[in-house]
Structure 1
Amino acid sequence: MELTDNLKRVKKPDWLRVKLPTGKEYVKVRGIVSEHKLHTICESGNCPNMGECWGAGTATFMILGNICTRSCGFCAVATGKPKPADWDEPKRIAYSVKLMGVKHCVITSVDRDDLKDGGSIIWAETIKEIRAISPETKFECLIPDFAGKWENLQRIIDVKPDIVSHNIETVRRLTAQVRIQAKYDRSLEVLKRLDEADVKTKCGLMVGLGETEEEIYETINDLSNVKCDVLTIGQYLQPTPKHIPVAKFVHPDDFKKYREYALGKGFRFVESGPLVRSSYHAEKHIF
């Protein structure tokens, strides 16, 4: 049965209540993002932690536009034909990071399979620009798989971010339905190549898509085998009725169980909980 055949809506449990974003810092960050025409995955991805993170004066910037060339069944980011790459974007992002005065920032991007370099040149330039004007700022890069074109991944390796994250998102069996154009083993290869280049690595996994507990443990084992350093595990939430429905709301006790198992497999940090997303508490994962 296809995941999208399960159209019955599962009622959200009490532990998934999210507070509305408020506060002076939230308003300040929203103003900067709007004024400088920046894209954030916080907004484009309907992140449930936007109020908490923006209220703390932090945000995850999304470069290379806000239209993705892929159509993953879980993701709220728009799919279609992206606009041409904006070569002024690295400077705008760096200036905004400086303006916010953040000690730690996260950069991510849409997939740009339409570009020969997969967007990796702008990725590298953004990192260089941030370092040039905010040398004290630590940052995480949440990268795509660059369609397995390893020369594009090498551009990220060459500029040596503090930590590089690449999300496997779901278990092997569900990858073809959840991530459509992605490949489970290719994501493992991305993390493996980063580790072999002495880059600290991080990965995100969603649960509640119809996977079994055994498959979750298998995925944790696979990530441990490629020496991934940091793991985040969170509940999948259906962003719109057109996306894959939630198969199950995983209980907080199960998230604790997965966290303990992952720590036992050697991960340096594990964030595991219903509202955890890949950039959640990112500032704690620099080591």
Structure 2
Amino acid sequence: MVVKPDWLRVKAPQVERVGSVKEILRDLSLNTVCEEASCPNIGECFAVGTATFLIMGPACTRACPYCDIDFEKKPQALDPNEPFQLAEAVRRLKLNHVVITSVNRDDLSDEGSSQFVRCIEEVRKVSPNTTIELLIPDLCGNWDALKIILDAQPDVLNHNTETIPRLYKRVRPQGDYQRSLELLKRAREIAPWVYTKSGIMVGLGETDTEVKEVIQSLRDVDCDILTIGQYLQPSQKHLGVKDFVPPEQFDAWQEFGESIGLLQVVSSPLTRSSYHAEQVKTLMQLYPRHKS
């Protein structure tokens, strides 16, 4: 058994603030990936009034063995009130930056793209200055659905690569590494003004060389932002941790990614794809883009 090191200890959250955010989420019948995926940063994020909203769930149509989101329940019909409730949560929490993600909905003909669009529209109505980041699934390679999402003009389009190609069959059995890269490449071509982002987790048996190859591949499709974090096993039924990567290795990957042209690499043991996502606002000021 691999023992969790000291650098993965998480500070206890401020109970009052966490409870306040949870109360709003329950009142509006909203799900968050913070809760559904057992994120280790839930206390810190809730304590400062942020959350990553999980739409079209909580049931997922895929069964990735690293993920704690429920795949045993049958997916339900989309809730037409969800976009309004999400926008109301953004208003109540006074969010400057919001991250909206979803479960995989391979059962829907448009892969759920229309629900993403409605959420963007409703958030912009009530909080026009809030920047919007979407963390989307691979859409089963439905590029028409991708265009529908990008036509709604999110500020950031995030799609996680998750792991190295060699581990895909074990880690993401229903995913495809090249399809994920193609999604990011097409996003840049369809909407060059949108910041593209991806994320990977480590500690599943990858080598330093393999991680660098993924970082280079993301740069080759002109990805802007990359997050790298330590995989943590949600339960005994999930994939086990092969090793706990030391902080200095995360620093080395950050240095490498930024040296080859990525605009930002957020890399640390506790980094997750939407951890401190609001920092993109600074990036947008340094590297402004405008729709032509």
Could you say which TM-score interval applies, normalised by the shorter chain?
A: over 0.9
* Cα distance in 1 between the residues matched to 2:112 and 2:237: 28
How many equivalent pairs are there? Answer: 279
After superposing the two structures, state which structure 1 stretch, 138-147 or 17-26, moved more.
17-26
| Aligned-partner residue type, residue 34 of structure 2 | C
The C-alpha deviation readout for 1:139-193, integer Å capped at 9, x for no partner, is: 2100011100111111111001010100000001101110110100000011001
Q: Distance in 1 between matches of 2:280 and 2:174?
A: 29
Equivalent of residue 31 in structure 1, options 5, 23, 27: 23
1:24 is displaced (CA, Å) by 3.2
Q: Give the Å deviation of 1:25.
A: 2.5
Q: In structure 2, what is the equivalent of residue 244 of structure 1?
A: 239
**Residues 104 and 139, structure 1, Cα contact 8 Å, conserved in 2:** yes
Matches within 5 A, 1:146-225: 146-196=139-189, 197-198=191-192, 199-225=194-220
- In structure 1, the residue matched to 2:290 is none
Give yes or no for contact 1:209–1:248 (8 Å, CA) kept in 2: yes
Question: How far 1:23 moved relative to its partner?
Answer: 4.0
Equivalent AA in structure 2 for residue 35 of structure 1: D
TM-score under structure 2 normalisation?
A: 0.94
Residue 235 (structure 1) aligned with residue 227 (structure 2): no
Residue 50 of structure 1 aligns to which amino acid in structure 2? I
Q: Does 1:40 align with 2:35?
A: no
Alpha-carbon distance between aligned partners in 1 of 2:16 and 2:134, rounded to the nearest angstrom: 27
- Which of 259, 264, 267 aligns to 2:259? It is 264
Question: Quick one: distance in 2 between partners of 1:183 and 1:24?
Answer: 42
Q: Whole-Å Cα distance in 1 between the matches of residues 170 and 135 of structure 2? A: 22
Matched, 1:124 2:124: no
Partner in structure 1 of residue 289 of structure 2: none
**Structure 1 unaligned residues grouped into runs of 5+:** 1-8
One-letter code aligned to 2:260: K
- Residue 283 (structure 1) aligned to one of 256, 275, 278: 278
- Distance of 2:95 and 2:142 partners within structure 1: 32
Percent identity over paired residues: 49
User: Structure 1 residue 109 and structure 2 residue 102: aligned?
Assistant: yes
Unpaired runs of at least 5, structure 2: 285-292
In structure 2, C-alpha distance between the alignment counterparts of 1:66 and 1:93, rounded to whole Å:
14
Q: Secondary structure at the match of 2:100?
A: strand
Q: Per-residue deviation at 1:65?
A: 1.4
Does the alignment pair 1:142 with 2:135?
yes
Mapped pair 1:10 → 2:2: yes
Match of 2:287 in 1: none
Q: Secondary structure at the match of 2:228?
A: strand
- Of the three residues 250, 253, 263, the one matched with 1:255 is 250
Distance (whole Å) between structure 2 residues aligned to residue 201 and residue 280 of structure 1: 16
| Equivalent position amino acid for 1:267 in 2 | L
Map 1:35-74 → 2, pairs under 5 A: 35-74=27-66
Matched residue type, 2:39: C
What is the CA–CA distance in structure 2 between the aligned matches of 1:139 and 1:55, rounded to whole Å? 20
> 1:176-228: per-residue Cα shift (whole Å, max 9, x none)?
11011010000001100111121210100100001111100100000000010
Greater RCO (CA < 8 Å, at least 6 residues apart): 1
SS in 1 for 2:109: coil
Q: Distance in 2 between matches of 1:78 and 1:65?
A: 9
Q: RMSD of the alignment, in Å?
A: 0.9
